[in-house]
């Protein structure tokens, strides 16, 4: 009955932790493609190839439902996967839609025409590949009108987090927020469009100021998944063992994950 959670590296652990707290009885298989991280600087075809390979491995571990807890994969590969590749008895879901539903205060499955919402100026912080895809703006346009989105590609932040250099990561966050503010001085809300970025949420909030509401994905995606499984319990797969897998060095990844989550994490070779 395992559910899979995939990320290019460690960022998806924020979603993993949120889901584990919300659904403690559901075994989770976490797959980090650390050997190929970060995805945010790769082209769409490369991201698609790596993501489909990882998802196939997770199906082998009994995960009929896989969450792409990687905004870059969700932005650059998910639609193509859903349209042409995912079998009818499997599901692969992304993390953009739950975030946008929370931002626009629309319920899951609300297919009414797009309408005006309270937020008017949204800052999107994401990887270069996510920004280039414009997937966030496309999904938002299905649900809301009159929202100005200013996207900031945050080069270097994921690399610094993956290396455990949080001092560098904080400096980079400050620099990227300054660049965003030159384009949009007073955002109403900020979206952390990479699951690595919640590790630096306090740094984003500090740089943005207390009046900007910062949306990160862990709790939002966890609640959306819980709702999804109530409606589609058949999508809980056959796997019954929780495990964490990596294409990288298991000892190094385990140490980094333990540092970030502040609890023991043990990764196996995928």
**Going by C-beta distance under 8 Å and a sequence separation of 6 or more, which residues neighbour residue 123?**
149, 150, 152, 180, 184, 187, 189, 190, 191, 208, 212
Is there a catalytic annotation at residue 244?
no
Cα(212)–Cα(122) distance, rounded to whole angstroms?
Answer: 10
Query: How far is CA 95 from each of CA 6, 186, 241, 257, rounded to the nearest angstrom?
Result: 11, 26, 24, 21
What percent of the chain is helix, strand and coil (3-state, nearest 5)? 50, 15, 35
Strands of 134-197, DSSP E: 144-145, 148-153, 189-192
- Distance CA(6)–CA(152), nearest Å, equals 24
Torsion from C-alpha of 5, 100, 226, 67, nearest 10 degrees: -20
Q: Measure the CA angle with vertex 22, ends 21 and 27; round to 5°.
A: 75
pLDDT tens-digit profile, the chain (270 residues): 689 999 999 999 999 999 999 999 999 999 999 999 889 889 999 999 999 999 999 999 999 999 999 999 999 999 999 999 999 999 999 998 898 888 888 876 677 889 999 999 999 999 999 999 999 999 899 899 999 999 999 999 999 998 889 999 999 999 999 999 999 999 999 999 998 999 899 999 999 999 999 998 888 999 999 999 988 888 776 667 789 999 999 999 999 999 889 899 999 999
Q: Note whether 207 and 174 are within 8 A (CB).
A: yes
Q: What is the pTM of this model?
A: 0.87
In sequence order, what are the residues at sequence separation of 6 or more whose Cβ sits closer than 8 angstroms to the Cβ of residue 129? 39, 40, 41, 42, 43, 44, 47, 72, 75, 76
Phi and psi dihedrals of 163, rounded to 5? -85, 0
| Burial (0-12, 13-18, 19+ Cβ within 10 Å), 68 | buried
Active-site residue identified among 63, 70, 154, 244:
70
Chain-centre distance of CA 227, in angstroms?
Answer: 18
Can you list the domains of the chain with their CATH numbers? 3-94+218-269 (3.40.50.1860), 97-215 (3.40.50.1860)
Catalytic residue list contains 154: no
Among 63, 154, 194, 244, the active-site one is: 194
């Amino acid at each position: 009955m395992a559910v899979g959670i995939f990320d290019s590296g460690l960022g998806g652990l924020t979603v993993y932790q949120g889901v584990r707290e919300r659904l403690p009885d559901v075994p989770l298989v976490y797959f980090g493609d650390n050997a190929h991280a970060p995805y945010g600087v790769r082209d769409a075809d490369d991201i698609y190839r790596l993501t489909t390979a990882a998802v196939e491995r997770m199906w082998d571990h009994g995960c009929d439902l896989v969450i792409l807890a990687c905004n870059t994969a969700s932005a650059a590969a998910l639609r193509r996967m859903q349209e042409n590749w995912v079998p009818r008895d499997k599901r692969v879901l992304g993390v953009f839609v739950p975030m946008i539903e929370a931002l626009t205060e629309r319920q899951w499955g609300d297919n009414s025409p797009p309408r005006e919402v309270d937020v008017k100026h949204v800052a999107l912080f994401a990887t270069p590949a996510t920004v280039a895809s414009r997937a966030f703006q496309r999904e938002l346009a299905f649900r809301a009108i009159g929202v100005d989105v200013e996207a900031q590609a945050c080069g270097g932040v994921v690399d610094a987090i993956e290396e455990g250099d949080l001092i560098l990561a904080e400096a980079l966050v400050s620099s990227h927020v300054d660049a965003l503010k030159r384009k949009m001085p007073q955002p109403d809300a900020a979206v952390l469009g990479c699951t690595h970025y919640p590790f630096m949420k306090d740094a984003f909030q500090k740089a943005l100021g207390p009046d900007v509401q910062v949306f990160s994905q862990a709790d939002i995606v966890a609640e959306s998944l819980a709702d999804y499984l109530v409606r589609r319990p058949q999508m809980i797969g056959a796997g019954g063992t929780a495990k964490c897998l990596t294409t990288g060095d298991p000892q190094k990844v385990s140490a980094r994950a333990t540092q970030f989550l502040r609890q023991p994490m043990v990764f196996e070779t995928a």
